[in-house]
Structure 1
Amino acid sequence: MIIRRVSIAKRSAIAFGLLGVIFIATVTFSLLKLMQLNDEVTVIAEHRVPALNDASALLASFLNIRLQTANVLAQTGQQREHFMQLLREAEANFEQTRNSLEQLAEAEQARRLLVDIKADIDVYHQLQRQLFSLIDSGQSGAADALQYGDLQTVREDLTDDIRSLVAFQQQRIDDANTRTDQLLDSSRLILIVISVAALLLMVFFAWVFTRSLTQPMAQALAIAQQIADGDLTQELHDQGHDETAAMLRALMVMRRQLRDTINQIQDSANQLASTSEQLSTVTEQSSQGIHQQNEQLELAVSAVTEMTAAVEDVARNAEETAREADSADGTARDGQTQVEDTITTTETLLHEFDGTIKGVGTLAEQVANIGKVLDVIRGIAEQTNLLALNAAIEAARAGESGRGFAVVADEVRALAHRTQQSTGEIESMIAAVQNHTDTTVKSIEQGHQRAQQTLQMAARAGEALTAITAAIARIADKTTAIASSSEQQANVAKEVDQNLLTIKDIATETASGANETSASSRELARLAENLSALTNRFTV
């Protein structure tokens, strides 16, 4: 959608701005039409109606002039003066009304009628004065001829002109009323059309705006549900540039990073299982070597015991010592060979322990790397939670229209919380693996130290056996001196016997440490299987 290329804030501003423009245009059009109606009503009220009233008043004034003229002609004396005064007032009122009409007259026809009326009223006044003069001079016949002749004609013409002016003003009012009705009808129709168009445009904007929010939110919800179900294989390519597109891209980045993390965890678990198996094999081999060493030590102890008995017998029987010297020399050499074998076996065990320590150290580094990856996952979950919180805030600002968006934001925040919980569980498991790895390393280091002690003891035993061999050789050469030194040789033999017993005890402890190492390696393999089972829930 093209609208998705614009951010939600700009999109909202554009939508509400267009609605505001439509509203302002509608209000402006209404005000213009109202101003036109007001102008028409003002013209009617201030010009047309006063002009009609003045025209009607002009007709009434002229009728009053005719009436007062008739009264003047019919009366004499003071009554005639009274009606003459009324006639002058009627004429003054007529002139005042005619002047007012001249000020209000705008149309050419009205001005022309007023000119005709002024000309007729002037002629009428002139004939009226002639009539009064004829009456005053007693010329009744001439007065009647004038009254029913020229004066009657002027009177009728003037009445027709005034009635024409009244009819013209009435027609102008009717025309203004017609224009007002037409303007009102056209304004009503245009407002209805504009209102319907604005309503349709608002509905269209609302549909497009809502769809631009609900569609990506539905996609985000589907992605979150797939991640919750353990499916990390789906991909989504969104071309939008708004906040929802950024959220979708963040979800896809989280999915890819989570998939990479799971792959790394699976690889690490496999390596951990393989290393555990190798460690178990090496430990078993070490245990077997230690058992063989114990057997050789037991033989050495027996040989030294026999040597001690032989030395004591030398004190009692020097001659028998000379005969047995060769046999003792051979036995001593066998013991020396066994001690050398013990030294070789112990050195091999030390090398194997070094390899085991390196393997367990590598395992600890892999477990630490898994912890770093989990830190990344936790950071992503926190960022997702933050995005969901911002989305909820924006939805709250949007009001009723953002309620659906707020629900989706809550679901995304809950999903981020569950991701954090799962990360915490994996961290707990990794911590347990690290604890067991540390225990294994300590046990192996203790075994390494004890093997070194065994090597030192075996070296000392070899040196002692070398001394014994030399002594036996000297005994063979100097049988006469055996009796005097037999007691000293017996003490040396006892010390060697004690050293061999010490070596045996150390070898026993080393065997116990090897057994513990084997148990730790089996526990490590079990933890690797559990870690692999946890990651197998995800499809990558």
Structure 2
Amino acid sequence: MKDQWSSLKASLQKAGKSLKNGRSNSSDPNRPEGSSASKVVDSLKEVGLMNLLRSVGGKLFLIFFISILFFVLTVGLTSYNISKGVIQKKVADASEGTIMQAGQKLDLLYATYEDLSMQILLDEDLKKLLADMDTVNKNSYDFLQLRQKLGDKLNVYSYSNKTLKSIYLFKASGEPVASAGSAMNKESLAQEDWFKKIVEGNGKATWLESRAKGYSDSLGNAGTASFGLGRVLKNTTTNAVQSVLLLEINLEAVGKELSQISMGEGGKTVIVTPDMNYIYNQDVAALGKPSDFGVTKEAFTEDKGNLQNSSRDMQLVYFKSAKTNWLLIGAMPVAELVKDAGVIFGMTWLMAFVAMIIAVVIGYFIVRMIGRPVVQLRNLMKEGEQGNLKVRMTVTSQDEIGQLGQSFNQMMEKITTLVQQTNHSAQEVLQTAGSLSDASKKTATSAKEIAVATEEIASGASSLAVESERGNELTHNIGMQMKSVVDANIVMGSAASEVQASSKQGIEYMSELIGKTNATEAMTRSMVEKVDNLKESTRSIRKILDVLSNMTKQTNILSLNATIEAARAGAAGKGFMVVADEIRKLADQSRQSIAIVGQITETIQKEIDETVNVLSQAYPIFQEQIESVKEADSIFKQVDSQMGEFIERLSEVTESISELEASQMVLSDAMSNVSAVAEESSATSQEVASLSSEQMSISSGLVKLSDSLEDLSNSLKEQLSKFQV
């Protein structure tokens, strides 16, 4: 819009300079008619093809296209990243609870083995048999009977727990004493690391790492995978070491507890030592080897928690056993956790494509509604700049562009009327100048004849009187024509004043439009602030939901603990177990309700974000509208200033015509004097000679004045000839 108004201002300035200085680039009479219009069309076509992006419609189209596409992609990709993180966190939290429950069950299993070892440790019959064996020769029959009795005793304990693979008793020196399960083929195990570890435990329960072939391999037998629990049995009286106890436990006992835990496709559940060596792994060959999670042991500082490995492609949840100090770890591929979030990613690009199509459609309609009328108005102004005052804009809308087109048409109507009136006045001035020039030349010829033929003064006096009468009539006619020129000049001034008044009215309209646009901008800014406040409220609701969700998890854990304690209490805890089940059900219902409320809150949050995006898109458009209106207001003020200058030029022309009228009155007086001289010429020849000289000088001045008036009339006609009306 700024380019079109600049073109209009340049055209008015050019027309004003041409009227003032008498110069015109279109005054060539040999130029073919219509060539300026064709050049304008060609130049407009060239500019439209080369500078499409510089047009108002092109800029609005690009702004809508880029803005919509940018915000859709930003919101979609942000939603994808946020949802991926939320899903990953929720799954990690749920998996952490599952691992914790499994770890607690394993601790109960470990406690069972520790209780069994303590039971063996406190068995008085077993202690007596061990004491008797120390007093009997090991090659005697009594030693064999005592050893058989120890074996039978150990078998009783072995049969009481089906997960036990073997039970072994060794002397402090490492020599096997008795066993239940696998046989013993080695004479001494004192150099075995696990045996030393049990002895160093000094009576405490010592948990031994898993072995792929079990601890029977140390005794000379090949077996299945197992882990162990060892204790030192001491004489309660002397506190001396009587024997070393080893419980060999099938690894399948742990596998059964962990078989129901699913970490998803590509995930696994393992048990590792504090040094990150495998205790339990579905791959038996990996037992006792370092773990391959890519996480150091320093990362497991808490008793439970979740973390990611160094490459961040695995999500780990863990629980540290209070009995064995082993880590139960659940490993899940991150890609598997967030694969459902890929739907959001795909929908983001789909919505971006749809938004791109919508942006193209919206941009097309904006170009049609705004760009095309502005380009049409610019083309019409270009033609007006070239002098074609017949151009008019077809107005179909009542908005600001339609009002601008109406103002353009009114301005062209007033300029056309002004040029027509000026052209008519110029024609009359030209005719008057021609008549005055002819009369002046005739008067000069008569004066020469009077000077040459003084002797014919008497006879020529009557002819001179006749000619002077004709000159007097001509001067009277010139006076009448001058009055017509003055009246036409007054009409031109009135028309210019009307154009200036219309320009001032346009300035007032633009001021009102600026005020209304500023009020609309303030309302939009207030709406954005209120939506932001609503967004903060939804965030507070989400925080409260997180607290309620944590309370539900704690209630579920408490109900589980209550169930375990009720199971331990037996028949006396059945009623408490029912209450614990009801509490767990209530916790599950609360969790589901909180999840539903969380989804509703997420939906409200999303709609609020979309509202904020729409208002953020509208706000820059209001800013651009204010700038455009301000530019239009400044242009109206420039037009008002130019019309003021034009009125000043008309005032100068009026003063020049007034001076010409004064000269005409002088000429009229001179012609009256000539008449009087002609009547008195018969009185004396001396007076005739003197009067003829004076008449000749006056006629010469009149000829020059007529020529000057004719040149001025031709110049004005040439300036007005470039306007097509």
TM-score (norm 1): 0.47
| Larger strand fraction of residues | 2
- The structure having more radius of gyration, on CA atoms, is 1
- Greater relative contact order: 1 or 2 (C-alpha under 8 angstroms, separation 6 or more)? 1
TM-score (norm 2): 0.37
